[in-house]
C-alpha cells in the first residue's frame, strides 16, 4: 500500500462491541447470541432484537459463510483513505450461523465472485487494538486462489 | 373520519434557484423559500404554528443536531413562537414524514398551519471527497470503504443476482428522470440531455454496478411547503391540494448494518405498512396518475416500485425498461428531474412532494412554447407535464431497503 495507513478509518470499539474486537485480535470471530431465546445477531446490540433479553454471550462462529452481495468500488468517498486500493471489494457475507456481515472480500478479483459462493474469514491487523475481519473464497470454491 | 374543515391540505410551495454554487448559505435558501411558500399560500409568517426545518449548517451558534436547540434557534431566527416541533431535525424527516405529522396535528386540532422548510449549500468539498452526507463513519462499515453509493450498489448487485436485473434496467430510471430534468428550466442539469440508456451505461463506474449517471448530483438550493386546514385554505388564491394519507417504516439502522433484500432477523420485510397507507388514503394503486419517488440512486427507484406493490418483487427491471416511468408510460416518475437532475442539496426530501403539488396544480414549466400559460405539447422531447393528473404519490429519503415513507396527494 502506498498511501499512509493513518488515513484509513480504524473502528473505535464501544462498551458493547469491545468483546468482539478483543476476540478478533485473537483470531476468533464472535457474535452475540441470546441466552434466553437463542437468537444470533449482527451488528452488536445492547439486547436481543427478538426477545429484548439483556442476557447474551459472545459465541464463536465458524467463520464460514456465503457471498450475499458485493461491489467493486472505483470511486471511494475519501480518495486519501482508499485511493490506493481501487477497485476494492465491499461485500455482504451471510454467516453459516445466519446473520449477515458487511465486510471486505480479499485475495480474489471481482470476476472471481459468484452468487452465494462459499467464503471464509481472514483476519488482518489494522492497529495494536484493532484486527479487521475480511473474507476470502473458501478453498475449492472455484473463485481465485485463496492461498 | 376527519372533520372536513380540518382536512389537511397543501396551501403553498416554493423552491429557490438551484445551482452548483449559489454563494449563499443553506439558511438563506431556507428563509427565501419560507417567505415564498407563505406568499404562494397567501399567508403571513404569524400564521405558522408548526415548523419542520432543516438546513445543512446553522451559520451562527451551536450545531442543530440537538433537537431542543434546533427549534430554539429557529424560533429565535424567525421571531415567532413555535407551538408544534416534533420533527425535522434531519434530512429524511423533512419530506413525507413531516407532511404526515403536520397533517395529523392539523386534523386533530392541535394546530392549524405548519411550514416545512429546508435549505442546503456548499455540499461538496474541494479535497476530492464525496458530499459529506454520503460518508458514514460507522464502526462496522466505515473501515470497509463503504458509503452511500456502495450501500446501494450492494442492493443493486443482490437484485441482479436474485432476479436477473440487468445494467440496462438499472440505467432506465436514470435516463427517464434525467430526461425530465433536461426540459425543466429550474433543474440544475437543464439542457444537459436528453439522456438515454447507452449514455448512462457509458458513464464511469462509481461502485459496480452503479455508474456515475445512476447517482444523484449535488447542488445548492432550498424549498418550503405550507400545510394547513381546508377551512383556512378556502379563501386562498390557488386550489389547495389534499393530503390523503401515507405511511412510514424503518427496520434497521441504515448505513450501520448491511442493506439486505430480506429482514436481518430472517424472512421478508413486512409490507403491510404500504397497504395500510393506501387504505388510510382511500386510494387504490391503479388510481395513481404519477409518482415522485426518491431517486438518490437508480436502484432505489426499482426497489421503491416493488416495495409500493406497483409491480411484483423482482419485476421492476423489465417494468422500468418498458418505459413505465416516461411521460407516456404508466407512472411518469420524478417529472422535475428528481435528485439526479433537478436538485439534491443534501436535504432534498421535500422536493419530491413539491413536484407532486405542482403537477396536481398544473404549475409545470418546461420547454413547451406556452408552458407558462399552462399549455403543453405532451411531446416528451419538450414536455414534462402529466396529462390531467388527479392523484400522485411522493416518497422521500428513507433506508436503502425494508421501508421508507410516502404521502399521497390529490386535487379536487
Distance from the Cα of B163 to chain A's closest Cα (Å) equals 12
d(CA A99, CA B402): 16
Mean pLDDT of B88-114: 90
| Residue among A8, A41, A102 minimizing CB distance to B146 | A102
Task: List all residues of chain A from 18 to 37 with a beta carbon under 8 Å from chain B.
Answer: none
Helix, strand, or coil (residue B113): strand
Task: List all residues of chain A from 51 to 80 with a beta carbon under 8 Å from chain B.
Answer: 68-80
Q: Do the Cβ atoms of B193 and B177 come closer than 8 Å?
A: no
| Residue among A39, A103, A110 minimizing CB distance to B208 | A110
Mean pLDDT of A136-143: 80
A135 near B CB under 8 A: no
- What are the DSSP calls for B334-377, one per residue? -TT-IIIII---S--TTHHHHHHHHHHHT----SSTTGGGT---
Beta bridge partners of A57: A33
Mean pLDDT of B325-351: 97
Report the pLDDT value the prediction gives residue A106, as an integer from 0 to 100.
Answer: 97
Instruction: Please tell me what DSSP assigns to residue B110.
Output: S
Beta bridge partners of B68: none
Mean pLDDT of A1-13: 70
Q: Residues of A with CB below 8 A from B143's CB? A: 8-11, 126, 132
ipTM of the complex: 0.94
Distance from the Cα of A118 to chain B's closest Cα (Å) equals 15
d(CA B376, CA A84): 52
Report the pLDDT value the prediction gives residue B124, as an integer from 0 to 100.
Answer: 59
Whether residue B172 is predicted with pLDDT greater than 90 in this model: the reply is yes
Q: What is the pLDDT of residues B112-126, one digit of tens each?
A: 999 999 999 876 556
Q: Do the Cβ atoms of A31 and A38 come closer than 8 Å?
A: no
Report the pLDDT value the prediction gives residue B382, as an integer from 0 to 100.
Answer: 97
Whether residue B59 is predicted with pLDDT greater than 80 in this model: the reply is no
- What are the DSSP calls for B261-305, one per residue? SS-TTSSPPP-HHHHHHHHHHT--GGG--EEE---SBHHHHHHHH
Report the pLDDT value the prediction gives residue A147, as an integer from 0 to 100.
Answer: 39
d(CA B252, CA B267): 14
Q: Do the Cβ atoms of B37 and B226 come closer than 8 Å?
A: yes
Residue B321: how many other CB atoms lie within 10 Å: 18
Instruction: Please tell me what DSSP assigns to residue B2.
Output: -
B202 φ, ψ (degrees, to nearest 5): -90, -10
Fold classification of B4-125+219-233 (topology level): Peroxisomal Thiolase; Chain A, domain 1 (3.40.47)
Average pLDDT over chain A, rounded to whole?
A: 92
Instruction: Please tell me what DSSP assigns to residue B252.
Output: S
B160 near A CB under 8 A: no
Q: Which of B309, B310, B341 is nearest to B324 (CA)?
A: B310
Q: Which residue has the higher pLDDT, B3 or B379?
A: B379
**pLDDT band at residue B278, thresholds of 50, 70 and 90?**
very high
Whether residue A3 is predicted with pLDDT greater than 60 in this model: the reply is no
- Mutation pick from B123, B160, B258 vs chain A, by most beta carbons of A within 10 Å, is B258
B372 near A CB under 8 A: no
Whether residue B221 is predicted with pLDDT greater than 70 in this model: the reply is yes
Distance from the Cα of A78 to chain B's closest Cα (Å) equals 5
User: B145 and A68 in contact by Cβ < 8 A?
Assistant: no
User: B154 and A92 in contact by Cβ < 8 A?
Assistant: yes
Chain B residue with CA closest to A115: the answer is: B161
pTM of the prediction? 0.95
Cell of B35: 417567505
Amino acid at each position: 500500500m502506498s498511501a499512509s495507513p493513518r488515513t484509513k478509518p480504524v473502528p473505535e470499539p464501544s462498551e458493547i462491541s469491545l468483546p468482539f474486537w478483543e476476540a478478533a485480535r485473537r483470531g476468533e470471530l464472535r457474535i452475540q447470541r441470546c441466552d434466553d431465546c437463542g437468537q444470533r445477531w449482527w451488528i452488536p446490540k445492547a439486547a436481543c432484537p427478538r426477545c429484548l433479553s439483556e442476557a447474551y454471550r459472545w459465541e464463536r462462529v465458524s467463520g464460514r459463510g456465503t457471498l450475499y452481495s458485493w461491489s467493486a468500488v472505483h470511486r471511494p468517498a475519501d480518495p486519501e483513505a482508499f485511493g490506493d486500493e481501487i477497485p476494492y471489494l465491499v461485500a455482504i457475507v451471510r454467516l453459516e450461523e445466519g446473520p449477515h456481515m458487511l465486510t471486505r472480500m480479499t485475495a480474489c478479483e471481482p470476476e472471481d465472485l459468484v452468487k452465494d459462493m462459499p467464503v471464509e474469514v481472514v483476519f488482518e491487523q489494522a492497529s495494536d487494538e484493532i484486527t479487521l475481519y475480511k473474507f476470502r473464497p473458501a478453498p475449492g470454491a472455484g473463485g481465485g486462489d485463496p492461498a | 373520519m376527519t372533520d372536513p374543515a380540518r382536512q389537511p391540505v397543501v396551501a403553498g410551495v416554493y423552491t429557490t434557484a438551484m445551482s452548483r454554487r449559489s454563494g449563499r448559505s443553506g439558511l438563506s435558501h431556507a428563509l427565501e423559500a419560507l417567505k415564498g411558500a407563505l406568499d404562494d399560500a397567501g399567508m403571513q409568517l404569524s400564521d405558522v404554528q408548526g415548523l419542520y426545518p432543516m438546513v445543512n449548517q446553522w451559520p451562527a451558534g451551536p450545531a442543530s443536531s440537538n433537537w431542543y436547540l434546533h427549534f430554539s434557534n429557529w424560533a429565535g431566527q424567525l421571531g415567532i413562537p413555535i407551538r408544534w416541533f416534533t420533527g425535522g431535525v434531519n434530512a429524511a424527516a423533512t419530506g413525507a414524514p413531516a407532511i404526515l405529522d403536520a397533517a395529523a396535528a392539523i386534523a386533530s386540532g392541535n394546530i392549524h398551519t405548519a411550514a416545512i422548510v429546508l435549505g442546503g449549500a456548499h455540499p461538496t468539498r474541494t479535497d476530492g471527497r464525496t458530499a459529506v452526507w454520503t460518508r458514514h463513519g460507522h464502526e462496522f462499515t466505515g473501515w470497509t470503504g463503504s458509503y452511500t453509493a456502495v450501500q446501494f450498489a450492494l442492493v443493486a448487485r443482490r437484485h441482479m443476482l436474485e432476479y436477473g436485473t440487468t445494467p440496462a434496467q438499472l440505467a432506465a430510471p436514470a435516463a427517464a428522470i434525467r430526461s425530465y430534468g433536461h426540459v425543466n428550466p429550474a433543474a440544475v442539469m437543464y439542457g444537459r440531455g436528453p439522456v438515454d440508456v447507452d449514455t448512462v451505461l457509458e458513464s464511469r463506474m462509481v461502485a459496480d454496478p452503479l455508474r456515475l449517471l445512476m447517482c444523484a448530483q449535488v447542488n445548492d438550493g432550498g424549498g418550503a411547503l405550507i400545510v394547513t386546514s381546508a377551512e383556512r385554505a378556502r379563501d386562498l388564491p390557488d386550489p389547495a391540494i389534499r393530503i390523503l394519507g401515507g405511511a412510514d417504516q424503518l427496520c434497521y439502522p441504515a448505513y450501520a448494518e448491511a442493506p439486505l433484500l430480506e429482514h436481518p432477523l430472517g424472512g421478508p420485510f413486512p409490507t403491510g405498512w404500504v397497504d395500510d397507507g393506501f387504505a388510510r388514503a382511500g386510494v387504490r394503486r391503479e388510481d395513481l396518475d404519477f409518482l415522485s419517488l426518491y431517486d438518490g440512486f437508480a436502484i432505489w427507484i426499482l426497489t421503491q416500485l416493488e416495495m409500493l406493490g406497483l409491480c411484483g418483487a423482482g419485476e421492476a427491471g423489465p417494468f422500468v425498461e418498458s418505459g413505465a416511468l416516461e411521460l407516456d408510460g404508466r407512472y411518469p416518475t420524478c417529472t422535475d428531474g428528481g435528485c439526479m437532475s433537478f436538485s439534491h442539496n443534501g436535504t432534498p426530501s421535500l422536493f419530491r412532494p413539491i413536484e407532486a403539488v405542482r403537477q396536481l396544480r398544473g404549475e409545470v414549466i418546461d420547454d413547451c412554447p406556452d408552458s407558462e400559460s399552462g399549455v403543453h405539447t405532451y411531446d416528451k422531447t419538450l414536455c414534462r407535464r402529466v396529462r390531467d393528473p388527479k392523484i400522485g404519490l411522493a416518497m422521500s429519503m428513507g433506508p436503502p431497503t425494508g421501508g421508507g415513507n410516502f404521502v399521497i396527494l390529490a386535487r379536487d
